Amino acid sequence: MNVLVLGAGQLARMMALAVKPLNINIRAFDVSSGNVVDPLTSNIIFNDLAQGIEFADFITAEFEHIDHQTLATCQASGKLRPASQAIKVGGDRRLEKSLLTQCAVANAQHKIIETKADFDQALNQLSFPLILKSALAGYDGKGQWRLKDKTTAEEVWLDIKAFFDGGEQGVKHAVIAEQMVPFDREVSLVGVRDSQGNTLVYPLTQNHHSKGVLSVSIATHVNEILQTQAQQVFDSIAKELDYVGVLAIEFFQVGEQLLVNEIAPRVHNSGHWTQQGADTCQFENHLRAVCDLPLGSTELIRPTAMINILGEDSVPNEILNVASTKLHWYGKSKRAGRKMGHINVSGKSEAQLASRLMLLANLLPEAAFDELKPYIAGYQNSLSS
Ligand code: ATP
Ligand code: MG
């Protein structure tokens, strides 16, 4: 079976590694060069999309910011899974919010802003603090603003205006103003749906973000109330999109309620722990769904965590002395803040996992993993209290 993945980053790479034993061959379409490449070596296989489509039995995507012409071409081939509409929803917060409304799924109070009048109205109707997010992909690390109160509103508006003007021409830009949610935790649910409508979900994962980027994910035995809530949200969104493949949903947990933050129509960073903590990893399950193979069990086999390696191309080898620790590099060149790789670690019990995480936190350089130690210490404390 041959599968073309739109996008040639680490997610395509991990899909290729996971499904080689199933005799599924992955080729990746590098959207920036227009070449179809081997996702492991980056060697060029074809130099246009058409040959990639011809090669493929199925086509899927590893990210959602794909130009609509490419999506339309792939959709027209009848091979694209999930469908282009589902991929577009993940790439435009306006579509995402209207999907949540349509599915009656709880999320943060928000307003869509295209003009100064919308901006003023949003500031009057929502309560502070606010977070404003570009509806489409941000660029150069821009695209999110935080507003504590009205004092800096004018300044922020001018910045947003400049952002609209500097963005792609001929595209209707917008930002979504959202009330900041005073969450207790951030969690995410990764699940998979096949073309017959069968779904399976992994246990909810607890996520810690540092400077807006995922830093640690921990998957252990879950709170059944939250898991059921999350699964219902997953089922309704996946059904509405007639989704095929792995879909991730990020939530804010407030008490025992989950509010959706965003959805990702693809395998997700917060699901990398499944490579060693679940019966079948997210990458294999995504391709099983896409290729019409039976889905694999999503059961947790042992408490497992993932630590992201951001902006570093080496870590001390000693971390591999910590039992059950596995290192995954993506083969990318070093750039500040870039997702370069991740570390997975498991334990027989949650306490054992926590103590292994602390061993890792002590070995990893504090400058590059700045919030890791306090976060793990807090996690350890939460287990003993
Ligand atoms: P990523 O692609 O890494 O998931 P993103 O750029 O798409 O991130 P969001 O997930 O929307 O952006 O936001 C990043 C982080 O900012 C969230 O994980 C959360 O920590 C914080 N955040 C975003 N929206 C809110 C909100 N409404 N209330 C509180 N915190 C928020
Ligand atoms: Mg997010």
pLDDT in tens, 250-305: 999 999 999 999 999 999 999 999 999 999 999 999 999 999 999 999 999 999 99
Average pLDDT over every residue of 357-379:
96
pLDDT band at 144 (very low <50, low <70, confident <90, very high): very high
The domain spanning residue 50 has which CATH number? 3.40.50.20
Q: Same domain, yes or no, for 243 and 379?
A: yes
The domain spanning residue 140 has which CATH number? 3.30.1490.20
What's the pTM? 0.96
Q: Which pLDDT score is estimated for 138? A: 65
Cα diameter, the chain: 59
**φ and ψ at residue 373, rounded to 5 degrees:** -60, -50
Q: Which domain holds residue 69?
A: 2-80
Other beta carbons within 10 Å of 180: 16
Give CA separation, 191 vs 91, 99, 222, 252, 327, in Å. 19, 18, 15, 17, 24
pLDDT in tens, 214-256: 999 999 988 999 999 999 999 999 999 999 999 999 999 999 9
CA of 33 to the centre of ligand 1 (A): 29
CB burial of residue 67 (10 Å; 0-12, 13-18, 19+): exposed
pLDDT band at 140 (very low <50, low <70, confident <90, very high): low
Closest-lying ligand 1 atom to the alpha carbon of residue 178: 27
Q: Which pLDDT score is estimated for 385? A: 78
Q: Same domain, yes or no, for 284 and 352?
A: yes
Q: Which pLDDT score is estimated for 167? A: 82
Closest-lying ligand 1 atom to the alpha carbon of residue 144: 6
Alpha-carbon distance of 75 to 82, in angstroms, equals 9
Q: What mean pLDDT, rounded, does the chain reach?
A: 96
- Asked if residue 17 has pLDDT above 80, the reply is yes
The answer to whether the CB of 3 falls within 8 A of the CB of 24 is: yes
Q: Percentage of the chain with pLDDT > 70?
A: 99
The tokens for 264 are: 């990702």
- Ligand 1 neighbours by CB, cut-off 6 Å: 108, 131, 133, 178, 180-181, 186, 209, 212-214, 250, 261-262
Domain count, the chain: 3
CA of 178 to the centre of ligand 2 (A): 14
Q: Which pLDDT score is estimated for 295? A: 98
Q: Same domain, yes or no, for 126 and 160?
A: yes
Sign (positive/negative) of CA torsion 113, 118, 123, 124? negative
What is the Cα 31 distance to its own chain's centre? Answer: 19
Alpha-carbon distance of 293 to 298, in angstroms, equals 15
The answer to whether the CB of 15 falls within 8 A of the CB of 267 is: yes
DSSP letters along 172-231, please? ---EEEEEPP--SEEEEEEEEE-TTS-EEEPPPEEEEEETTEEEEEEE-S--HHHHHHHH
The answer to whether the CB of 264 falls within 8 A of the CB of 96 is: no
pLDDT in tens, 334-358: 999 999 999 999 999 999 999 999 9
Query: Of residues 137 and 135, which shows the higher confidence score?
Result: 135
Instruction: From 121, 147, 179, give the residue that closes a domain.
Output: 179
Alpha-carbon distance of 177 to 53, in angstroms, equals 39
Instruction: From 163, 179, 195, give the residue that closes a domain.
Output: 179
Q: Which pLDDT score is estimated for 227? A: 98
Of residues 384, 285, 346, 340, the one with CA closest to residue 19: 285
Q: Same domain, yes or no, for 200 and 126?
A: no
Residue to mutate (ligand 1; options 260, 261, 339, 375; most atoms within 8 A of CB): 261
pLDDT band at 142 (very low <50, low <70, confident <90, very high): confident
pLDDT in tens, 270-285: 999 999 999 999 999 9
